[in-house]
Amino acid sequence: MLARQCHHVYNQSVMKKMRLTPELAYDGLSVEKAIAKRRSERSFSGRTMSLAELSHILHYSSGVTDKRTGFRAAPSAGATYPIEVYPVTNNVEGLTRGIYRYLAASHELELVREGDFRHEMALAALGQRMLIEANVVLVLSAIFQRTQRRYQERAQRYILLEAGHIAQNACLVATSMGLGACAVGAFYDTDFNHVVGVDGREESVLYLVAVGKI
Ligand SMILES: Cc1cc2nc3c(=O)[nH]c(=O)nc-3n(C[C@H](O)[C@H](O)[C@H](O)COP(=O)(O)O)c2cc1C
């Protein structure tokens, strides 16, 4: 038992932060072709996704695209960046199943909680099976204060719009890469917040994107 515990702690400390790979060097579809081809995909093949593929999706969804300013792939009101992206992994090469936080500034993943959260996610989302079968579920949450401190009540609107921008980037880049993606808004807020470990007040889950190999 002690050995198992030690292994667990060791694993977590090693995995705490993980550098992602640079974006893939390939030309995907044109924006117009990706928009035309995008459809909500809800079944996935079960093939493994590479870490490079996940890195690419994260970079083009919400990563830093201008290192000088720190500005990112999706627009943000006053560059306040209220949206956090938590990849919840199932079948990604080299990544233990778990909940990770995407650190956009350093293009790293930080392990939040190790474990298999697929059934908990599906249960919190009206039993939607795609959350079990997807290679990764991008959980988009908001830290409201980041935008509220500048825009007060108007921030509510901005934050929801921003989640939409990031989710659409994720869907389009997935399509461009030949992967499937589906936006998911049908879930119980309290239950999903509980899965990710956010309080629902300072930070709350807003939107999900299931992504997988088809
Ligand atoms: C805000 C929002 C929430 C959605 N939630 C779900 C969902 O919970 N489950 C699901 O299967 N599809 C969900 N969808 C996907 C829609 O069903 C889908 O976009 C629609 O049927 C049109 O099909 P298309 O995306 O292939 O063009 C959602 C889409 C949006 C924009």
Q: Where are the alpha helices (DSSP H) in the chain?
A: 2-15, 31-37, 51-62, 118-124, 130-133, 145-151, 154-176, 189-196
Q: Which residues line ligand 1 (CB under 6 A)?
A: 39-40, 42, 128, 182-186
51: phi then psi, degrees, rounded to nearest 5 = -65, -35
**pTM for the complete prediction?**
0.93
Q: Is the pLDDT of residue 147 over 90?
A: yes
- Per domain, the residue ranges of the chain are 2-20+40-212
**Residue 10 has what pLDDT?**
35
Nearest atom (ligand 1) to Cα of 40: 26
Q: Is the pLDDT of residue 91 over 90?
A: yes
Query: 2-20+40-212 is classed in which CATH architecture?
Result: 3-Layer(aba) Sandwich (3.40)
Residue nearest to atom 31 of ligand 1 (CA): 183
To test the pocket of ligand 1, the residue of 121, 184, 211 to mutate (highest count of ligand atoms within 8 Å of its CB) is 184
Question: What pLDDT is stored for residue 12 in this prediction?
Answer: 44
The yes-or-no verdict on residue 14 having pLDDT over 60 is no
